[in-house]
Structure formats: C-alpha cells, structure tokens
Amino acid sequence: MVTPSGPQREALVGEAARRWPAHWQTAVIDAINERRTGGFPVVDYRPDHLVKDRVALVGDAAHATTPISGRGLDIAFEDISVLCRILSDAADNDPRIALQLFENERLPVGRELVDSDRRLRRLITG
C-alpha cells in the first residue's frame, strides 16, 4: 500500500479540494492529512492469447480487469464453463485443437471486457 507524504500529500489535498463536493472535502482532507488513506496500484491486462501448447488461462490470469467492472469472477466462471464444454465435446480429439477452439471463443470476450472496463474508467475519472 502506498501512503502519500510530502509534496504528494499536498498535491492530493489540492486534488481533493478540487474534486470532492464541499460537504465531503473536510473529511477527505482530514483523512489524507492524518494518513488514514492509502492506495494500491490498479492495473489491467488485455491478452493477445489465452492458450499456449496444452495450457489455457482463465479468469484474471487470462484477462485482468480493475474492480470497477465488477465482472472478474463472473467472467472466470464463464471461461471455465466454456472450457469444460469444449474439452468434453472434444474428448477423443487432440486437446490442443480443443484449446484453440476455447481461445477462439473466449479471447474476444476477454478483450472486450478489458476494453469496456477502460472506457468506464475514463468516463468516471475523466
């Protein structure tokens, strides 16, 4: 966790004064000054592939989004469900073909999830 200090804290106080409504400013600025705030880096990951050889990634390992989308666990369950269906349907075939089918179906879904999360973040944060 990152706790701002010095010039970073001063900049954060100034930003809070500009962005928060008047009735929240005092509480937010007090929290910053009393070091009751902190932050964690939040990143996302937009994949180019989900499969390599006989390994498939699902959920956040495959396409991580920020908490703002609220879809991480939901998409992980969808990935697992699709992977199970495809592997079950292809039980007698080469698993690499089944994994490629999985990637073909789920890669666009994962990429769109990350893209929509980024659009939503830009909308909210300006």
Contacts with 120 (C-beta within 8 Å, 6 or more apart), sequence order: 68, 69
pLDDT averaged over consecutive 10-residue blocks of the chain (126 residues)? 76 85 85 76 90 94 88 92 94 88 97 94 81
* 58, 80 contact by CB (below 8 A): yes
Strands 51-52 and 55-56 come out as antiparallel
Computed on alpha carbons and rounded to an integer, the radius of gyration of the chain in Å comes to 21
Contacts with 60 (C-beta within 8 Å, 6 or more apart), sequence order: 72, 76
Question: What pLDDT does residue 108 have?
Answer: 97
Q: Which pair of tokens denotes residue 32?
A: 């910053």
Question: What pLDDT does residue 119 have?
Answer: 94
Question: What pLDDT does residue 109 have?
Answer: 96
Question: What pLDDT does residue 17 have?
Answer: 86
CA neighbours within 13 Å on the CB side: how many for 69? Answer: 22
Contacts with 102 (C-beta within 8 Å, 6 or more apart), sequence order: 50, 51, 56, 82, 83, 86, 87
Q: Which residues pair with 52 in a beta bridge?
A: 55
